Structure 1
Amino acid sequence: MTMLSVPYHLDEYLPDFRLPWRGHTETVAEELPDSDLWSRMAVLHEAVAARVADEIRAGRTPTVLSGDCMVALGTVAGVQRAGVDAAVVWFDAHGDVQTMETSTSGYAGGIPLRVLAGYRPDPAMDRLGLRAIAEERLLLVDGRDLDPPEAEYLDASEVRRSAVADLGAGDLPEGPLLLHVDLDVIDPDEVPGMLFPTPGGPSGGAVVEAVHRVLDTGRVAAVSVGCTWRPDRDEDLPGGVRAKLLAALLRR
């Protein structure tokens, strides 16, 4: 398994983004243009897509660890470029199905799952060559914190839903899978310092078990992990919470 670190939040490089990971990790970093947000992210995600595609073509399963969930767009694009038509299993406390038109905050990090379903917020996104994935091949796991427009969209869409504890093999879309895990899906009492903590979540153990049920299918083509914690905090919390969580999640 190849581990790729992408130390960015949207288009912002995070010099203090350190993974509590003892194994070998390759960093993907780019000189981004002096341009708008979407053009800058397109360059970054292109670099991720190229690296992921190379790994899959070489017969490896890449794992991408990043500072947000938008980098998953580059991971999915890379999977597609390698000729793999993957469905998506998306663990997240949030829905990530906003649009820039419905979002009251205007935060671009709230849209990636909607982008995978075909939403395109800016022409610059087209540069990635990302192909839309049918809604019924997208599975949102948890998604306990939804804004009204997100709830309305999900109620009317064919996007699948599951609680962490209930997730079983029969809930998964068919075929190859892209597995994405935003660590904020775990209750923030267990993993303090998250950017967008959402109370009332499942335990870390429950999330690890559910992720392993997905991995055990043998159908996961690539893994994306949103390490969405505050980069200005210590590299790890007392007791090595983050290191232990990543090791358990990724079986390392």
Structure 2
Amino acid sequence: MTRILVPYHLDEHLPDLDVPFRPDATITAELPAGDTWERMAELYRHVAEAVATDVRTGTAPVVQSGDCMVSLGTVAGVQQAGVSPSVVWFDAHGDVQTLETTTSGYLGGMPIRVLTGYRPELIAEPLGLQALAEEQVLLVDARDLDPPEAEFLASSPMTRCPVDDVSEAVIPAGPLVLHVDFDVVNPDQLPGTLFPTPGGPGIDAVMAAVARVLDTGRVVALSLGCTWHPGQGTADQISPHLESALAPGR
């Protein structure tokens, strides 16, 4: 299992980002002077190449980054390797905003919409990312939704469930990209996250659910949203839980 570090938040380089796993490879890139979408597309092309190389050899890469948008590169890389994945997405937030619905303008709130075909000219087409059907996405927790997100999910065939309900019954069919944004954990147990959302499951419950997804044997890539302030020990707190979940034959 190759552990890849992408030390960025969107197109901002974060050289001090601390992550749960010591990386086997670190991806950086000379980004163009264009807009944020163009810059992310260039960065994620490198991510996709690294992921595709691993998946072709039967290795499941672990991509660690400072946001959730890097999952676009991870999924694109899996597709480049000839695998058509579904996605299991752990997050305190919905991540189904659009440029038309967001009030903050934060692009990091849009990755699931982009993955499922929203305005492909922005980044999917330059990246070579093929849209997933909404039925191919399981959204876990998402306890903090803006009204437009709640409205979208109410009419979407996308499956959503609490952490404790993650099971084979709701996990999508086929190969899986597993994405975990650690702000899904109750911030009382995991301080230092960028966008803390009160309440929510404890770290043991989250990692037990993550382990159930891994136990399917269908995870071809793991994407970790290390969405925290560097230097507060959050990565060190997460690391033993992840090591345990990923341990062979645990």
TM beyond 0.5: yes
Q: Deviations over 1:46-73 (max 9, x none)?
A: 1100110010111111110110000000
> Hey, what's the Cα distance between the residues in 2 that align with 1:121 and 1:82?
20
Aligned-pair CA distance for 1:246: 3.4
2:32 is the alignment partner of 1:33: yes
- Please, which runs of 5 or more residues in structure 2 have no aligned partner? none
- SS at 1:171's partner residue? coil
Q: 8 Å contact 2:228–2:234 — kept in the other structure?
A: no
Structure 2 length as normaliser, TM-score?
A: 0.95
Q: Distance in 2 between matches of 1:90 and 1:243?
A: 19
Matched, 1:17 2:17: yes
Cα RMSD (Å): 1.6
Distance 1:123 1:203, change over 3 A: closer
1:80 maps to 79
The DSSP-based 3-state class of the residue aligned with 2:99 is coil
State whether structure 2 residue 160 is matched by structure 1 residue 161: yes
- Determine helix, strand or coil for the equivalent of 1:180: strand
Partners of 1:237 and 1:177 lie apart in 2 by 26
Q: Deviations over 1:59-106 (max 9, x none)?
A: 111110110000000000000111111111000000000001100000
Matches within 5 A, 1:44-193: 44-120=43-119, 122-193=121-192
Are the equivalent residues in 2 in contact too, given 1:99–1:121 (CA < 8 A)? no
- Offset of 1:25 from its aligned partner? 2.6
Q: Deviations over 1:101-131 (max 9, x none)?
A: 1000000000001111110275444210111
1:241 to 221, 234, 237: 237
2:5 alignment partner AA: S
Q: Distance in 2 between matches of 1:237 and 1:210?
A: 20
Cα distance, 1:26 vs structure 2? 1.1
Task: Give the SS at the match of 1:18.
Answer: coil
Evaluate the alpha carbon distance shift between residue 96 and residue 197 of structure 1 in structure 2; reply closer, same or farther with a 3 A threshold.
same
Paired residue type of 1:241: Q
Distance 2:239 2:185 in 1: 15
> SS state of the match for residue 141, structure 1?
strand
SS in 1 for 2:212: helix
Give the 3 Å change call, closer, same or farther, for CA 217–38 of structure 1 in structure 2: same
1:181 counterpart SS class: strand
Q: Percent identity?
A: 58
> Which letter does structure 2 place at the counterpart of 1:29?
T
Q: Determine the structure 2 residue equivalent to 1:5.
A: 5
Q: TM-score, normalised by structure 1?
A: 0.94
Find the aligned partners of 1:198 and 1:115 in 2 and give their Cα distance.
Answer: 23
> Structure 1: how far apart are the matches of 2:7 and 2:32?
17
Structure 1 residue runs without a partner (length 5+):
none
**1:138 to partner: Cα distance:** 0.6
Q: Secondary structure at the match of 1:170?
A: coil
Distance 1:226 1:144 in 2: 17
CA contact 1:66–1:227 (8 Å) conserved in 2: yes
Q: Structure 1 CA distance, aligned partners of 2:124 and 2:79?
A: 15
Distance 2:153 2:18 in 1: 34
- Give the direction of change, closer, same or farther, for the CA distance of 1:201–1:251 in structure 2 (3 Å limit): farther
